Structure 1
Amino acid sequence: MPPVNPPRGMRDFLPADKARRERVLATIRARYRAHGFDEIETPVLEEYARLHAGIGGDNEKLAYNVLRRGLSADAIRAAADDPAALTDLGLRYDLTVPLARFYATHRAQLPTVFRAIQIAPVWRAERPQKGRYRQFLQCDIDIIGDATARGEAELAIATLDTIDALGLTGGGIRINDRRLLEWMLGHFGFAADEQPGVLITIDKLDKTGPDGVTAELRERGTTAAAVDAFEAFLHRPSTGAHHPFGERQIRTALPDGAPDEVVAHLVEIGAAVAAAQGPSGDVPLEYDPFLVRGMGYYTGTIFELSHPSVSYSLGGGGRYDGMIGRFLGQDVPAVGFSIGFERIVDLVAADQDAAADAVVLVHDRDVPVAELAAHKARLVASGARVRLETRTKNLKALLERAAADGYTSFATVAAGQDGAERKPLA
């Protein structure tokens, strides 16, 4: 017999868990729509060539591929070393590649600036571990067709509003720009062909610290003078003064001479977020000069969502102006932000079902089905959620299970009874 458990890295959800997830999703959808985004849907499968076009970074190595139909055993053996010959489709590993393909397909039917919501499962052949799954839900918002700071600002504002609506107040966004990263590496003296590897090492800064990063760069044989300059910068004297997000915070965190136009772009994003926040205090943005984000398709602004209750990020994204051009033959500006749903849902308070009027009708075994149907229909018509349960000897256990499933009241029903008195499940 095959195992009864789901495949490793994938999960079943019991009714209470599923209801909680749907409540969180309903809030996310509602806030995204309030900010002018429209939901789309794309197939779970995409062409193999599209998923492996070099735009998905390391995720391409984790794609689940689908064997071509009709291949003979001889054909499979002959193509054993060529995945492209064996497969023609694959499960999507993110929602950004499908969105780029979607836009290229439907561009003529979409507005000049298109604001998209995608909420759907994706699949990656990860090594399963705590908090890392092979199937998980992504919640993305993207803006296509806007090259200005308005795009990033709208995404940041909508994301902050959404986590506030979920009760996760106090969240913030770390922000950087890949152009500033590249400029900074060039300023220190790293050669262009060294920079991708250097970024991978710099991305470990919060885990291994400055000494660990510089040691790894030396082990890699990276340009010694550049590593010396970088190390000196990391250990430069600091006043420890706090600066709110703005030009001063950005320039203080960078070597002298950072590109004015890129700094101005980030400052404009901050001003827009501040205006949306109103007179509430500091802007919930923080400039992080060493924020990298590993996806190779990012071309400008990058950001990560943080919350003081956890040490890891709750989402992130960035600008990927070059991706859609792979399908259209011309670049189209695009920027996106993804909330880490599987991380966020565990932080949201486990409140009772949003449908507060939820009742369990506990009936005797001899109550005719027609009477039960009439009782239930009246309650459903009044807006209640109703479950029928046959009375058991252990009524307490039955009611406890109903309460765990989000029901708030119960009533007992006997044969020939006109109505039923409802009591709270407390």
Structure 2
Amino acid sequence: MASVNPPRGMRDFLPADKARRERVLGVIRERYRAHGFDEIETPVVEDYARLHAGIGGDNEKLAFNVLKRGMDAEAIRAAAGDPAQLSDLGLRYDLTVPLARFYATHRGQLPTVFRSIQIAPVWRAERPQKGRYRQFVQCDIDIIGDATARAEAELLVASLDTLDALGLEGGSIRINDRRALDAMLDVFGFAADERPGVLITIDKLDKIGSDGVIAELTERGTTPEAVAAFGAFLLRPETLEYRPFGEGQIRKALPEGVPDGVIAHLVGIGDSVAAARGADSLGGVPLVFDPFLVRGMGYYTGTIFELAHPSVDYSLGGGGRYDGMIGRFLGQDVPAVGFSFGFERLVDLVPEGEVDAGSSIVLVHDRDVPVAELVALKAALVAEGSRVRLEQRTKNLKALLERAGADGYSTFATVSRGTPRAELDLRPLG
């Protein structure tokens, strides 16, 4: 007998779960729109060649590809060794590649600086495990056409504001710049062809510590002098005085030789976020400079960030600047930067609240009430702005009302034959 479960790594959502998710998505949309972003929609599939153009990092290996139509068994066997011959489309594995294609397609109809919202499911052929799914929702905001620190500041302020609106105050954003990372590796003497592997190891610093990073770099056969210089920097004596986000903190965390322009860009972001958040000083800004924040996507060209919250030890979102991606479609570079909430992680942390701002009523009716009366009564309540469900009375009324409460209903009334609207006795559930 065929399984009735959804495919591995994918989920069904019961009404209460779906209502909770939509409530959170509604807050995210409202806050993003309040900050001047406009929502777009792109197809769930993109051309195979676009999804495998070398701009999606490791996610390209996780893409679900769509078999070309019309291929017979012989054609499939002949192309079995070449996925590009088998597929011409694929499910999107993120929303950034589709956005870059969207902008290249519609550039003439968009403002010079375009602020977009994309909230939609994406698909990756992950190994399913707790918190990791094959289908999940991403909530992205991006700014295209602005190379200044204003773009990053707008993204971070909108994201922090949204987090606050969801009842998750206290979040902070770790921030770094890929140009600072490149300059740091150059200062230490790592060869250009070693750097991708070095960054992969540095990205493990939180998990394996300084000694583990140095040991792994040594095992990789990385330039010994560079490993020694980097190790000395990691293990240098440091004082524990507090330094708020700003030039002092950034310079103290980096070796000499990082370009002043990169540092100035980061400081400008901090100043702007401080002004927007009403902070008297940068000490009140929820930004933390992390010189070893890497983020694995190869398309990042500048600032990178990750959202942290004290209630969990994993990231709730992140993003960065990807100034080179759109140029792959247009033939000329266009500055772009984006931020994405990890919705599946975020939604589980949002405090419980009323799903519906308005009235929601369950009408529990006797068996003998005429259908016309029930439908007319329901229509009258709906016209008043209420959400209404009809339920025939059962022996176990308590179970019926508990289920209605779990589905988000707040009040109920019993209905007998001939009960007029004015005599409905609305009582709270629970």
Alignment-mate amino acid for residue 27 of structure 1: V
Map 1:196-215 → 2, pairs under 5 A: 196-215=196-215
Q: In 2, Cα distance between the equivalents of 1:7 and 1:42? A: 24
Alignment-mate amino acid for residue 213 of structure 1: V
* Residue 265 (1) aligns with residue 269 (2): no
Q: In 2, Cα distance between the equivalents of 1:97 and 1:257? A: 34
Alignment-mate amino acid for residue 127 of structure 1: R
Corresponding residue number in structure 1 for 2:398: 396
* Residue 52 (1) aligns with residue 56 (2): no
Tell me the secondary structure at the aligned position of residue 391 of structure 2.
strand
Q: In 1, Cα distance between the equivalents of 2:420 and 2:28? A: 42
Corresponding residue number in structure 2 for 1:365: 367
Q: In 2, Cα distance between the equivalents of 1:164 and 1:324? A: 32
Corresponding residue number in structure 1 for 2:287: 285
Instruction: For residues 228-259 of structure 1, give each alpha carbon's deviation from its aligned partner in whole angstroms, at most 9, with x where no partner exists.
Output: 11111010001011100000000000112321
Q: In 2, Cα distance between the equivalents of 1:194 and 1:3? A: 48
| Contact 2:184 2:257 (8 Å CA) reproduced | no
Alignment-mate amino acid for residue 131 of structure 2: G
1:298 paired residue among 293, 297, 300:
300
| Contact 2:363 2:389 (8 Å CA) reproduced | yes
Instruction: For residues 120-163 of structure 1, give each alpha carbon's deviation from its aligned partner in whole angstroms, at most 9, with x where no partner exists.
Output: 00000000000000000000000000000011000000000000
Map 1:68-79 → 2, pairs under 5 A: 68-79=68-79
- Structure 1 residue 355, shift from structure 2 partner: 2.7
- Structure 1 residue 279, shift from structure 2 partner: 3.4
Q: In 1, Cα distance between the equivalents of 2:228 and 2:112? A: 47
Corresponding residue number in structure 2 for 1:312: 314
Tell me the secondary structure at the aligned position of residue 193 of structure 2.
coil
Alignment-mate amino acid for residue 411 of structure 1: A
Q: In 2, Cα distance between the equivalents of 1:289 and 1:191? A: 19
| Contact 2:166 2:350 (8 Å CA) reproduced | yes
Q: In 1, Cα distance between the equivalents of 2:50 and 2:7? A: 26
Alignment-mate amino acid for residue 164 of structure 1: D
Corresponding residue number in structure 2 for 1:333: 335
Alignment-mate amino acid for residue 424 of structure 1: P
Corresponding residue number in structure 1 for 2:427: 423
Instruction: For residues 332-372 of structure 1, give each alpha carbon's deviation from its aligned partner in whole angstroms, at most 9, with x where no partner exists.
Output: 00000001111110000121223341110000111111000
Q: In 1, Cα distance between the equivalents of 2:257 and 2:225? A: 19
TM-score (normalizing by structure 2): 0.98
Kindly, what percent of the aligned residue pairs are identical? 78
Q: In 2, Cα distance between the equivalents of 1:112 and 1:174? A: 29
Q: In 1, Cα distance between the equivalents of 2:288 and 2:206? A: 15
Alignment-mate amino acid for residue 22 of structure 2: E
Map 1:15-414 → 2, pairs under 5 A: 15-279=15-279, 282-414=284-416
| Contact 1:113 1:144 (8 Å CA) reproduced | yes
| Contact 2:187 2:257 (8 Å CA) reproduced | no
Alignment-mate amino acid for residue 398 of structure 1: L
CA 1:279/1:179 → structure 2, altered by over 3 Å: closer, same or farther? Answer: closer
Aligned length: 426
- Structure 1 residue 116, shift from structure 2 partner: 0.3
Tell me the secondary structure at the aligned position of residue 194 of structure 1.
helix
Q: In 2, Cα distance between the equivalents of 1:292 and 1:64? A: 26
Give 4+ residue runs of structure 1 displaced > 3 Å after superposition.
none
Alignment-mate amino acid for residue 307 of structure 1: H
Q: In 2, Cα distance between the equivalents of 1:73 and 1:399? A: 56
Alignment-mate amino acid for residue 197 of structure 1: G
Alignment-mate amino acid for residue 320 of structure 1: Y
